């Protein structure tokens, strides 16, 4: 039995990962500070199943707090570091907080791994690091990283820290660049969840720009498969992998499809593009397919059905 530490384990992605690891009979320690970015009650509900499991433990603490980290079990074999300040627009409002949590917090977790002699470190990065890269689809081999918001730059800094610790201390650091993850338990501030709320309530949906901007939406189950594969990867000591769906969907298509599935005509509120947002995200997943065996199996349409079923039942 492997003992995994999952930081941010009560969040959207983290809670799904914890459930999967428990299903495979691994011991899981969830480390989460229940940041008020969104309701802690939502996060507690996310891990309600896990809390009933005998080999799951929840430790409430902060990655910026050394004392909290020192209290973590000494039996941990591997770290999956998902905890972070998320969101593009909030990072423009409070860039210092994003630098502190996403960079210094990752530094603290890498020091934790070094001091505990933990060999495998999986880092949740983001497609945001590519920024205004005109080379689409975006490849991990691209040298063009043009971040356009503090959130993106904080993730690049954290990836570079991982390279340093991999080089100096023989920690295997695997950075996973997630592309717009969606599915049951998605954060309430993210587009699919937010738009579903608004359409269901008959309220206007904000459409930024002309609706042609697009995102490479990736279903949560496929992301979890990619994380699990990365946790088992042992070939090299430092790698970056895209975890996307390789099929961007335009904003106007998303809104129309949600309206059809919910059974209500969306009311559109046209707004200018938000500062710090990019026009398109588009993942090249050939490297992940080759080295991780990553092959997303859930179409966007199937994923939306699953999300809406969960939304109606929550």
How is the beta sheet containing 78-81 ordered, strand by strand? 56-60, 27-32, 3-7, 78-81, 120-126, 172-178, 238-243
- Whether residue 137 is preceded by a cis peptide bond, meaning omega within 30 degrees of 0, is yes
**Residue 207 dihedral angles phi and psi, to the nearest 5°:** -110, 110
Q: How far is CA 55 from CA 24, 101, 237, in A?
A: 11, 28, 29
CA distance 168 to 206: 47
Burial readout 178-208 (b: 16 or more C-beta within 10 A, e: otherwise): bbbbbbbbbbeebbbbebbebbeeeeebbbe
Which of 98, 130, 151, 219 is the catalytic position? Answer: 151
Asked if residue 292 lies in contact with residue 226, where contact means CB atoms within 8 angstroms, the answer is yes
Q: Is 160 exposed, middle or buried (0-12, 13-18, 19+ CB in 10 A)?
A: exposed
CA distance 60 to 55: 17
CA distance 124 to 226: 11
**Residue 71 dihedral angles phi and psi, to the nearest 5°:** -85, -5
Question: Is 151 in the active site?
Answer: yes
| Residues annotated as part of the active site | 151
């Amino acid at each position: 039995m492997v003992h995994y530490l999952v930081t941010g384990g009560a969040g959207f992605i983290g809670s799904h990962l914890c459930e999967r690891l428990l299903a495979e009979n691994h011991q899981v320690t969830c480390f989460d500070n229940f940041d008020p970015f969104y309701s802690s009650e939502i996060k507690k509900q996310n891990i309600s199943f896990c809390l009933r499991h005998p080999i799951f433990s929840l430790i409430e603490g902060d990655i910026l707090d050394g004392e909290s980290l020192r209290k973590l079990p000494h039996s941990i074999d591997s770290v999956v570091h998902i905890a972070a300040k998320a969101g593009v627009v909030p990072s423009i409002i409070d860039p210092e907080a994003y630098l502190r949590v996403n960079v210094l917090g990752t530094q603290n977790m890498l020091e934790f791994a070094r001091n505990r002699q933990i060999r495998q470190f999986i880092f949740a990065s983001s497609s945001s690091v590519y920024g205004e890269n005109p080379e689409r689809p975006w490849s991990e081999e691209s040298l063009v990283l043009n971040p356009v918001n503090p959130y993106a730059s904080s993730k690049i800094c954290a990836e570079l820290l991982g390279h340093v610790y991999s080089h100096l201390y023989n920690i295997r650091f695997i950075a996973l660049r997630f592309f717009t993850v969606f599915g049951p338990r998605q954060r309430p501030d993210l587009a699919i969840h937010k738009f579903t709320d608004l359409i269901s309530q008959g309220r206007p949906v904000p459409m930024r720009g002309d609706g042609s901007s697009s995102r490479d939406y990736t279903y949560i189950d496929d992301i979890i498969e990619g994380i699990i594969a990365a946790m088992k990867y042992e070939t090299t000591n430092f790698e970056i992998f895209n975890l996307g769906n390789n099929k961007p969907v335009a904003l106007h298509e998303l809104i129309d499809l949600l309206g059809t599935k919910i059974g209500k005509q969306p009311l559109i509120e046209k707004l200018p593009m938000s500062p710090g947002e990019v026009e398109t995200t588009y993942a090249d997943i050939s490297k992940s397919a080759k080295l991780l065996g990553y092959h997303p199996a859930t179409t966007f349409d199937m994923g939306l059905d699953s999300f809406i079923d969960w939304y109606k039942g929550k």
